[in-house]
Structure 1
Amino acid sequence: MTADPRKYYVRDRPGQHHNYHQVNWRDRADITLFYFTRFPEDATEEELWFQFKQMGDVREIFIPKLRNKEGRKYGFERFNGVSDANRMERKLDNIIVGGLKLHANIPKYRRGKARQEQYVAKHVRQMEGENGKGRVATPPNVRRTYAEAVVSHTENRGQRRSTTSILALYGSSQSSVTLEIPKGMKKRYKDAWVGRLKRQEIFEQLDDELSWILGSKVAPKYLGDDMVLLLGLSDTKAKEMIMEEINNDTSMFYSMEKWNSELKPGNRLVWIQCWGIPLVAWSIKYIRKIVAAVGDLVEVDDDVDDMQRLDRARVLVRTPWRPTIQHSVTVQIDGDTHRVHLVEEN
């Protein structure tokens, strides 16, 4: 299962991420998404992977903790190189898992040629110099209570007091502008909710989950850090999700609140390229220490995890530093001195 770095399970190991100037691999034309349900309660992603592998080139399997509207467990799978999606749908729909006939189909949400064209058009605009920002998958694979999150933020802020002062060394120009925002535009966000993700790396699957749990009218928008704006979410459903988290700990958000203009992300999520890491220090444990001066390590590129490239390590970092990060770290190993350069991707 480890031969191909993209044959992974979302819950078990880091996925493959790209910087926001690139179209995500999940949205490539040769990747096809299927929804499936009606399988044994104790079936794992690994076990289902072996079942689906017989049907084609599986690239991802994801089973949320939540259930669909019928109260059943469900999941999503992505295949590479499916020439006839309808034929594959019929094949999957006839699989028997643990004595149960699987139900599978092509999701009615997030499919069609128009969506692919939107991603390509957006990518072209960015390459031509527009300031569009795509989504990035995000923070640590750690479940925390709200109290723990607050304590962690306070501790990190104290630890970084000396490093963040370095920012004052970088000069920048400033200007000011006054904007008159029409009431109609403000009203759009008045009743919106903001959820804080437990596992920010699942944001790329968030659209899929919400489509089946809440319907297509709820539109998630990434705000930064662990914050997701939920447009179209009713107060009643929001309160149900809050109670679900309190009682069962099965919501994808560790907290939810109504949007207000004071809600702003305190950190950025950026891809950093680390040049010059000594070979003997090539492990996530040591890379985490090397980048600690600028922020918390969230994710690593597959090339880092599989050691496909050893000239540089590409990592996702949660940082309070403003753009653009260019920092060097002096690393001492057995009396030898090494210089590692950290450069933020544009």
Structure 2
Amino acid sequence: MDHGRGTSFFFSNFPPDFMEADMWKVFQRWGRVSDIFISRRLNIKRQRFRFVRFMGVQNVRELEKSLSSVWIETRKVIVNRPKYNKTVETSKEWNVKQKAKAKVEEKQTPKEWLKQCYIGRVSDLRKVGDLNESFILGGYNFIKIKYLDGFHVLLLGEYELKVKEVVEEKKEWFDDLFDTIVPWEDQFVVVDKLVWVRCRGLPLILWNVDCFGKNAALLGNLVEVDKATQELEELEYVRFMIRVHVGCEVKLSSYFKINRILYQVSLVEECTVSKHHLYQGHWDGKSVEQFSYIESQASFVSGECGIDDGEYVYSCGREELGVQIAKIG
């Protein structure tokens, strides 16, 4: 029995064009459906997982047996239960409980609820965009993922369920998703941020990851290159993401010489970062031409960004060239 919280099942082996509206029509025959979700990711058979939650289930095993006999067109549906069987309250039940707790929660401080949280770190940004989906498919949809900027996320458990219990019980599962996952510490602070930068003035002959990395190095660390830049769909400017200090907004105007011709390149931080576009891929082009910076001027809106006045040694190929960095304003 689901005790009013809902019973979830995961399905596969559907026809590719079988969408959510079609699923509602089919599964309403077997019970009261509250949620349907279709994964963006493909499994090993190049099929999408589907998630259905039923309310008021009296006999879970009997329902699972009935669902295992469902055919869609010429395909027999494959059904599975979540790996983690603790279920979640309905939104109505949650709202009632929240009202009952309102007076108590007013007295809580952020420190108290943060003690129940965990901090996860990823080095591969592709994982950030897929975390919520991974938790749903893994049966842990009571854990909410909050992006903290940089490479960190906050894991917050809902209702009476605690993140600690799941992390300790399913350590290997979490280790596959995160480089590190640790309990919340009051001293924790995000010191880096990820920003998209638009680079203009760079000759097309130098549109390669080596060149982008050398430009990004004047401001921070290159993280990724935009898909439109990789595929040469957008030629107005180069767009890439860099990691810089959290208090730093950067505008950079830099000069470099190619075959004795002087070029001016500008790098400007975009005003906003699209969180759903966190990862788009990396450029895999090869360096075509040696280039050397001969003079730079940088304007820092706020923060130091780790660059000091004086000579900056820039390594390019077999040469090391001195670059004069001047702060303005």
Deviations 1:193-236 (Å, cap 9, x if unpaired)? 11112422332221121123243321110112111100014212
Per the TM alignment, residue 300 of structure 1 is displaced from its structure 2 partner at its CA by: 2.2
Q: 2:41 — aligned with what? A: 62
**TM-score, structure 1 normalization:** 0.48
- Cα root mean square deviation, aligned: 3.7
Tell me: higher relative CO, structure 1 or 2? Use CA pairs within 8 A at least 6 residues apart.
1
Deviations 1:70-117 (Å, cap 9, x if unpaired)? xx998559xxxxxxxxxxxxxx95575xxx75669xxxx9xxxxxxxx
CA gap of 1:76–1:272, structure 2 versus 1, over 3 A, is farther
The whole-number CA distance in structure 2 between the counterparts of 1:190 and 1:321 is 24
Out of 109, 114, 118, the residue aligned to residue 193 of structure 1 is: 118
Q: Is the 8 A contact 2:197 2:270 kept in 1?
A: yes
Q: 2:303 — aligned with what? A: none
Q: Secondary structure at the match of 2:249?
A: coil
CA gap of 1:263–1:222, structure 2 versus 1, over 3 A, is same
How much identity, in percent, do the aligned residues show? 23
CA gap of 1:73–1:255, structure 2 versus 1, over 3 A, is farther
Q: 1:286 — aligned with what? A: 211
Out of 249, 272, 279, the residue aligned to residue 324 of structure 1 is: 249
* Structure 1 residue runs without a partner (length 5+): 1-34, 40-47, 66-71, 78-91, 110-180
Q: Which amino acid aligns with 1:255?
A: T
Q: Is the strand fraction higher in 1 or 2? A: 2
The whole-number CA distance in structure 2 between the counterparts of 1:276 and 1:203 is 32
Deviations 1:156-215 (Å, cap 9, x if unpaired)? xxxxxxxxxxxxxxxxxxxxxxxxx96433211111111112422332221121123243
Q: 2:227 — aligned with what? A: 302
Q: Is the 8 A contact 1:93 1:103 kept in 2?
A: no
CA gap of 1:94–1:313, structure 2 versus 1, over 3 A, is farther
CA gap of 1:38–1:183, structure 2 versus 1, over 3 A, is closer
Correspondences of 1:115-130 after superposition (within 5 Å): none
Per the TM alignment, residue 261 of structure 1 is displaced from its structure 2 partner at its CA by: 2.1
The whole-number CA distance in structure 2 between the counterparts of 1:93 and 1:332 is 64
Correspondences of 1:151-190 after superposition (within 5 Å): 183-190=108-115
**TM-score, structure 2 normalization:** 0.50
Q: 1:221 — aligned with what? A: 146
Out of 255, 266, 269, the residue aligned to residue 341 of structure 1 is: 266
* Structure 2 residue runs without a partner (length 5+): 1-8, 20-38, 51-70, 81-87, 89-105, 272-329
Larger Rg: 2
Per the TM alignment, residue 317 of structure 1 is displaced from its structure 2 partner at its CA by: 1.1
Deviations 1:213-260 (Å, cap 9, x if unpaired)? 243321110112111100014212112343446xxx6x2101111111
Q: 1:81 — aligned with what? A: none
Q: Is the 8 A contact 1:193 1:231 kept in 2?
A: yes
Out of 146, 160, 164, the residue aligned to residue 235 of structure 1 is: 164
Correspondences of 1:14-93 after superposition (within 5 Å): 37-38=11-12, 52=16, 61-63=40-42, 75=48
Q: Secondary structure at the match of 1:187?
A: helix
Per the TM alignment, residue 281 of structure 1 is displaced from its structure 2 partner at its CA by: 0.5
Q: Is the 8 A contact 2:12 2:49 kept in 1?
A: no
The whole-number CA distance in structure 2 between the counterparts of 1:290 and 1:303 is 18
Per the TM alignment, residue 63 of structure 1 is displaced from its structure 2 partner at its CA by: 4.3
Q: 1:268 — aligned with what? A: 193
The whole-number CA distance in structure 1 between the counterparts of 2:43 and 2:79 is 16
Q: Is the helix fraction higher in 1 or 2? A: 1
**What is the aligned residue count?**
196
Q: Secondary structure at the match of 2:205?
A: helix
